Structure 1
Amino acid sequence: MDVIGLICVLYFLIVLGIGYWAMQKVKTTEDFFIAGRSLGIFVMGITMFATALSGFLFVGGPGLTYRLGMGALWFTFPSTTSFAMAWYVLGKKMREMTEKTGSLTVADVVYHRYNSKIASGLTAIATFFGTIAFLASQVLALGLMIAHIFGTTKQVGILIGLGIVAIYSTMGGVLAATYTSVFQGSIMAVGSLVVFILAMSVGGGLTNITRTIASTPFPDYGGDILPQFVGPWGLVTPVLAMSWFFVLGIGILGQPHIINRFFMIKDVKKLKWGPLVSVIPAIVGGMFMFGIGLTVRYLVNTGALQSLANPDDAVMTFLTSYAHPIFAGIISACVMAAIMSTCDAFINIASASLTHDLPFALNRKLTEKQKLYGARLGVALVSVFTFLMLLFMSDKGVALLGAFGWGTYAAALAPAVAIGLNWKRGTKEGAIASIALGLVLSLGLEVLARLNIYKLPHGMYGAALYLPLSVIVYIVVSYLTQEKELDSNMAQIVE
């Protein structure tokens, strides 16, 4: 085992140790799913930082930039404002929801807002499918890194990564994820900046990198010279770029892994600092993605590196080729830290949808002990579903697989949650219709595309169509159905 592998093994042992320690603190499902509402603003900021900078961005982002150029930045542009928007629109309301209604999940929020178990059950289903897709992108990223470091196949790397995440998440749930995220986020903050500086140094500065890319042949594109690669759209169509910008911006209001974090805040008065804290992952993540992706493209075009068989290998190829082994090992552990943080969040969200939300929607009452046991069993079931999805969809790549999960969340949940908690006129019928429409369109059109039956024109990101339709349906159906008077607690929240 080389130095990089040894450092990564040491990191995993530390993470598992933290998970075991957190397990001793987990006594109730409230501890397991929302960390007992015990997080300070600093810990909250670090955990959101760690979750945001995931395999979706750390591995998929550089790979997407390497393949598509500046067009990939439309993935990161929205994050500079979207996280701040989530804090302003949902932060306080979600914290009040969990305090006044005991909500542990987004499905709980939907139930208490609309007093509808149908809407709550549909939310659980949408949450499950969206989470599995997003979790699959993280596990794929982790598997690719493990395969690169330890010389295994991609499939073996995925199994190892999934096993580590499942064991650790089963131990301590969100509480374990939170404590490890503080450890991980600290590594990531420093490591991301150092890697960006290293990448710019290797490429001779941003000006040299972009000029060289614009004037040299692309060996993996038939030797063509593609100056548009460093133009505003890169190699993507304007329609696709703007689709990403729209959904990855507005769509954050339907992301359970972001929404659930607001349940955990200890002091609601400190929420005002959230938007400022949220700028950090946007800036650091964009620099990391942009720096490595463009630099590896520069190195390939100049012949310093061979063309990548898999664009998602850009991060590990750069680190193993240009960083000192000890530094590369630390940064590899840093990247794995990002992936692990997000896996923790997603695997517990999906577990909650199976073992907490669906039983409630189906009128099944469980004891506290049964709920906690079921939560841990749910982690194992989610792991199996994630592996099955990877068997059929891993060819999409890390970033685009994650984008599918994000889009599913956005189309199905954003209207009922974000609009519903800010508009008293919203009705349960509107919520049911919008959630069902968003879910059916997201899953249905993806299946049609996979079977080569129908694909949206101009490379359009599907959720850019589903999300507006879901919003329209929510508003129209709400106006066409009778408004129900809200109870006093809910009326105070929805104002």
Structure 2
Amino acid sequence: MNNPVVIGVVLAYFVLMFAIGAWANTKMKSAKEFLVAGQSLGFFVMAIASFSSIQSGWGMVGGTGQTYAWGFQALIAVGLFAPFGFAVAWFLLGSRLNWIGKKHSVYSVPDLIRVRFQDKTSHATMSVAVFVAAVAYMTAQVTSIGVIISLLLGTSVATSAWIGSLVVAAYTMAGGMLAAVWTDLVQGVLMVVMSVGLFIFAVQVAGGWVPMLETISSASAELLSIDGVKSPTYIFAFGLLIFVGAVGQPQLLTKFLMLRDMTQLKWGAAVAGIAYGVTTLFSVGIGLATRSMVVTGDAPELANIDDTAIWFLDSVTHPIVGGIALTGLLAAIMSSASSFITIGASSMMRDLPTAFGIKVVRELLWSRISSLVLVVLSVLLTLFLSQVVFLLGALGWAAFAAAIVGPVVMSIYWHRATATAATVTVIFAIVGNLVISSLAAREVITMPAYMQVGGISLLVSILLFYVVSLMTSNRHPDATLAHLYGGPTTSSDGAAARVAAASTERNDHV
């Protein structure tokens, strides 16, 4: 593309991100500001930041490719289930995590495991798991960043990956999660506007909504069927992974620890869910339009489905429009990357040393160093991996979901949850997903067409957590819901949360 106007837009976007990072840096006084934005966010900023940190290169680049390949099944699996997953996460976890975070100074998911189970092994295991899954997810973002910047600036993919990653690293290292959420706000608004505009444009290019669908149906009717390309069991498992997995994403759960006033949670669920749903229009419009254009001969059959969004923006739109849209797509990817940098750095710098009784001095400095290490590691892995964006993103999503739904979501409601069950489940989630996905990608093993590995691993992890919890017990006397929610408070909201937790525990005993 390499258009002067486009390059100007990209550079202006980078400058804005740097400016937000510099502003956030002036607020950095401790690890609390760096890791949870000082627990000072209002609901709108937090809601937009939560959706934009999840709607990433996987959702927009990978999701567009899946729509091109799967048709309506991709919309069902991702576009419908994910927004409902947001709502469930907000209502099930929002107030409880916010209360726990303020009471126990919890800054991360591993922190929550530490407070809930009072156990070093489960704390250390979750710390490693979050770091590994963050790197896997970051690798998907870096892959997308490299491709997009190479188109925008005319540089090689490898050079572009370094440029984009270091830009994200710079503003995140400067301002931590505070910079991440405010850049997420800007990026989230860009994503919504871009998605609506490009949906309308893509449908018009394909001749209109009905003619586009008729063209697709004439060549591949299964693309418009619920039980089309993939088997119903596969789509069900994938939809379950997206729905339940949304509840287990640390970039979302960490946002609950940042909210200033938990009474605003009810509004945030609607804002985040609707915004995410609107941005799926990007994948629907471009994915279906490109498929229609392939049928009519106006587009080539794409060898790599991850090229769908990039090809459309580079070949169909006006260079300036396409460049601005690619910048918006870059914003989506960077918003997710910045959150994972901070989450991964927290696990590496704060959670893992704490699990082994190591006191880290100058936490703010080491948070920044850990952020840089994670980014460099992700870029190096990207340059040596040939996995597609959707596979890498799905691996990160599935690993997080399987590792977090039981040990975190179930444990803050269920008094019988144990540290041993948390440890076993987390190990299974990370090792199982990594090994099976890697072997399948290299065709060492062949997975049945009706089986979706991530969804099945999520179900197995939940069952495993439940069974092992029933078979074991906690050693520490404070590994109880009473300790988790109890204690003095002057907040009526906190009191309500404590009463609800006590009621939950009584019901569990009945």
TM range (shorter): over 0.9
**TM, length-normalised to structure 1:** 0.93
Q: Which moved more, 1:143-152 or 1:83-92?
A: 143-152
Instruction: Give CA-to-partner distance per residue, 1:26-85, whole Å, 9 cap, x none.
Output: 111000010000100111122123223211112111122123322322122211310000
What displacement does 1:332 show? 2.1
Provide the rounded CA distance (Å) in 1 between the counterparts of 2:242 and 2:51.
17
CA contact (8 A) 1:68 1:235 kept: yes
Q: Which residue of structure 2 aligns with residue 387 of structure 1?
A: 379
Taking the TM superposition and a 5 Å limit, the aligned residue runs for 1:1-400 are 1-2=2-3, 3-73=5-75, 74-215=77-218, 225-367=219-361, 369=362, 371-393=363-385, 395-400=386-391
Q: Which moved more, 1:297-306 or 1:76-85?
A: 297-306
CA contact (8 A) 2:394 2:454 kept: no
Provide the rounded CA distance (Å) in 2 between the counterparts of 1:160 and 1:238.
42
CA contact (8 A) 1:72 1:234 kept: no
CA contact (8 A) 1:60 1:141 kept: no
Provide the rounded CA distance (Å) in 2 between the counterparts of 1:212 and 1:242.
27
SS at match of 2:13: helix
The sequence identity of aligned pairs, in percent, is 33
Provide the rounded CA distance (Å) in 2 between the counterparts of 1:388 and 1:235.
35
What displacement does 1:389 show? 2.8
What displacement does 1:14 show? 1.5
Q: Which residue of structure 1 aligns with residue 508 of structure 2?
A: none
**TM, length-normalised to structure 2:** 0.90
Asked if 1:440 is matched to 2:442, the reply is no
Provide the rounded CA distance (Å) in 2 between the counterparts of 1:458 and 1:314.
23
Provide the rounded CA distance (Å) in 2 between the counterparts of 1:204 and 1:452.
40
What displacement does 1:301 show? 2.1
Provide the rounded CA distance (Å) in 2 between the counterparts of 1:188 and 1:488.
42
Instruction: Give CA-to-partner distance per residue, 1:335-376, whole Å, 9 cap, x none.
Output: 111111111001111111100111001110022x2x111111
Instruction: Give CA-to-partner distance per residue, 1:300-339, whole Å, 9 cap, x none.
Output: 2212223334332322332333434443333222211111
CA RMSD of aligned residues (A): 1.9
What displacement does 1:110 show? 0.5
SS at match of 2:149: helix
**Structure 2: gaps spanning 5 or more residues:** 487-497, 505-510
**Structure 1: gaps spanning 5 or more residues:** 216-224
Shift in CA distance, 318/247, structure 1 to aligned 2, threshold 3 Å: same
CA contact (8 A) 2:407 2:465 kept: yes
Provide the rounded CA distance (Å) in 2 between the counterparts of 1:133 and 1:78.
23
What displacement does 1:491 show? 4.2
Provide the rounded CA distance (Å) in 2 between the counterparts of 1:133 and 1:309.
24
In the comparison of the two structures, how many residue pairs are matched?
Answer: 483
Provide the rounded CA distance (Å) in 2 between the counterparts of 1:448 and 1:408.
15
What displacement does 1:109 show? 0.2
Provide the rounded CA distance (Å) in 2 between the counterparts of 1:392 and 1:68.
28
- Runs (4+) of structure 1 exceeding 6 A deviation are none
